[in-house]
Chain A
Amino acid sequence: MIGRALVTSAAVAGALALPAGAAADTANVGISASMFGPMQVSVLAGDTVAWQNQSLRTHTVTSRDGSFSSPRLGLSGSFSNRFSTAGTFAYYCQIHPFMTGEVDVYPLLLKGPVDPVSRGGQVTLEGRAEAGTSNVQIQADSGSGYTDVATAAVDGTGAFRATMPAIATTRYRAVAAAGASPEVQVIVMDRNLTVRASRRGHKALVRVQVSPRDPGGIVVLQLYRRERFGWWPVARRKLDASSRAVFLAPAGVRARAVLTLRDGWTPVVTSKALRLPRRRH
């Protein structure tokens, strides 16, 4: 199922005879009853993708361009394919053609921090390059196009690494003669959320202030609910001209506020949780 089959990297250097300067990885893709998970994987040229059927249904892994096709895979049946050249490889299941997936093969791969980092901290980017690459350029785009920000040396295993200050939310990529890596967005958390609560009749009034100011930014009020097994969004507001938002919430519950991206869901900064005041008896 999706999520359970996150891409896991198993270094197999030494087990295979590989050209010096490159260690190939294997990306794992699960096959459930009705989908490939994850549906898309990004791998380095030379890497292997391994599929395993985790469902009771029989499936195949068949490329659109005819470059590879598995036999029929029953429960726990597996199949793998090594991708030696960069490109986009779409595949599907011949038995259930609505099941589709994609392998994107790059000459360079780049990874950054998944969670937002604090402004003033450091951003560490790590990547791998295909065989024969000695140096890569790290490029950054904070909104006005890509410019070079660092050069990273590729070590004997094909890995490279670069560290830079976290100033603002930025897209990064790695570039070498053979091409570019996919983009990596690093979100820099440059705002603070202050949440205050007071009693308002039988309810609680929750005031959220975001600084530096972010008028029009989206703030979500979340309450901790046992029946929701965690934090649950109950209201969404746009910050006013003074970068404030006000919510009415039930008294006595645990609450927190989340500043999100414009999609209203993806968290950028989460406030500390607080217990809303109880109603007076």
Chain B
Amino acid sequence: MTRRTSFSLLAAVGVIAVFASGAVARASTTRTYWVAAVPTTWNVVPNEKDAIGGMMYDPAQTVFPTVVYRRYSAHWRKPIANAPRSATDGGVIPGPLLHARVGDRVVVHFKNMDTLRHDPHSMHFHGVFYRPSSDGAYVPGFSGKDADVKPGQTWTYRLLAAKDSAGVWPYHDHSPSMMDSLAGGLYGELSIFRKHEKPPDREFVVFFTMLHGFMTVDGRAFVGNTPIFRAKVGQRVQWDVLTLGDDFHTFHVHGHRWVGPGGIPQDTKTVGPAESFRVQWREDNPGTWLYHCHVEQHMMDGMIGLYRVSR
């Protein structure tokens, strides 16, 4: 109920801002995103090898057609980058990195362009406030079109980054085709900063999932294929760590520690299905480092990458 109240209050503030022209210093910002579910052909291991394990892979084992979230310019005119190259290495898994600040409204216009499987799709967001019509979760007899957007159709999800929304959150397909879609990479990240928070100099997205039989980071497996994250000494870096699926992962970065709950230093932190967290530090240790899931089998199956810090 409190959330609902704050939502109407914010709406009222917005109205006052329009009509009282400047009487209210700061109205809420609306951030608009255009997203589509589109077919693509994805390669989990573009360099065709597990360089550390000394194992070669044939494209026949690593290339597959799938459906992903793709960011578009207004009215789905043309596809644009899902995230800055520094955040995800320029791929289309995960989907668009959606940013907001506490207090912002987030409007996501979604179009189902699945010409591969012709399945219904949806977007279901964690961490933010919304009405049931923006839930995107299929329940026969209860949910509406938001949860079952048919190929060629559109839906607009209206979200509010509430007071308790600061952090990183996953979003994903929750339509009737959810299980197939999640296995194929139909998910992404919402990154919400506090109202007056200074954004970090670098934001890295580490989305752990099992994809096409491999353990992947951002849809890629093994060093060189997974994102190469880069920073300079002195920069404040933020790692956004998320996972979906059936496994727990332990996020670990070599040569670095961060302060965890209760002020306790950590260099490894567990994340389970649909959980997420962010950690930050001021970079002070140049070199080429590894980041990986410390579940040994997951690391050997591909959940490992390079972090390069220059002076």
Q: Which residues of A contact B (CB under 8 A)?
A: 1-4, 32-35, 37, 39, 55-56, 96, 98, 114, 225, 227-233, 263-267
For residue B213, CB closer than 8 A to chain A, the reply is yes
- Are A267's CB and B47's CB within 8 A? no
Chain B residues with CB under 8 Å of A229's CB are 47, 49, 51, 223-224
- The reply to whether A233 and B46 form a contact with Cβ atoms under 8 Å apart is yes
B81 within 8 A of A: no
Contacts of B65 in A (CB 8 A): 263
- The CA-CA distance from A265 to B215 in the complex, in Å, is 20
In the complex, chain A residues whose CB is within 8 Å of the CB of B57: 3
Question: Is the beta-carbon distance between A263 and B63 smaller than 8 angstroms?
Answer: yes
Q: Which residues of A contact B225 (CB under 8 A)?
A: 228
Nearest Cβ distance between residue B202 and chain A, in whole angstroms? 17
Q: Is B84 an interface residue, CB under 8 A from the partner? A: no
User: Judging by beta carbons under 8 Å apart, are A230 and B47 in contact?
Assistant: yes
Which B-chain residue is minimally distant from A114 (CB atoms)?
B58
Report the nearest B residue to A54, measured CB to CB.
Answer: B297
Q: How far is the CA of A4 from the CA of B295 in the complex (A)?
A: 18
Write the B25-52 contact mask toward A (1 if CB under 8 angstroms, else 0). 0000000000000000101001111110
The answer on a CB contact under 8 Å between A263 and B46 is no
A2 to B50 alpha-carbon distance, docked (Å): 11
Closest to B298 in A: A33
Once the chains bind, are B51 and A34 in contact (CB under 8 Å)?
no
Contact B47 A34 (CB under 8 A): no
Q: For residue A267, which residues in chain B have a CB less than 8 angstroms away from its CB? A: 59
B163 within 8 Å of A (CB atoms): no
A-B contact pairs, 14 of them (CB 8 A): A2-B214, A3-B56, A32-B297, A34-B210, A34-B246, A55-B297, A225-B224, A227-B228, A227-B288, A229-B224, A230-B48, A230-B51, A263-B65, A265-B43
B309 cross-chain contacts in A, Cβ below 8 A: none
Which residues of chain B are within 8 angstroms of A114 by Cβ–Cβ distance? 58
A38 to chain B, nearest CB (A): 8
> Assuming A32-B297, A227-B308, is B55 touching A4 (CB within 8 A)?
yes
* Contact partners of A230 in chain B: CB under 8 A: 47-49, 51, 224
| Residues of A contacting B223 in the complex (Cβ-Cβ under 8 angstroms) | 229
A260's closest neighbor in chain B, by CB? B59
Kindly list the 9 A-B residue pairs having the minimum CB-CB distance in the complex, ordered from nearest. Answer: A229-B51, A229-B224, A228-B224, A230-B47, A33-B297, A265-B63, A263-B41, A2-B213, A266-B59
B264: CB under 8 A from chain A?
no
Neighbouring B residues of A233 by C-beta, 8 Å: 46
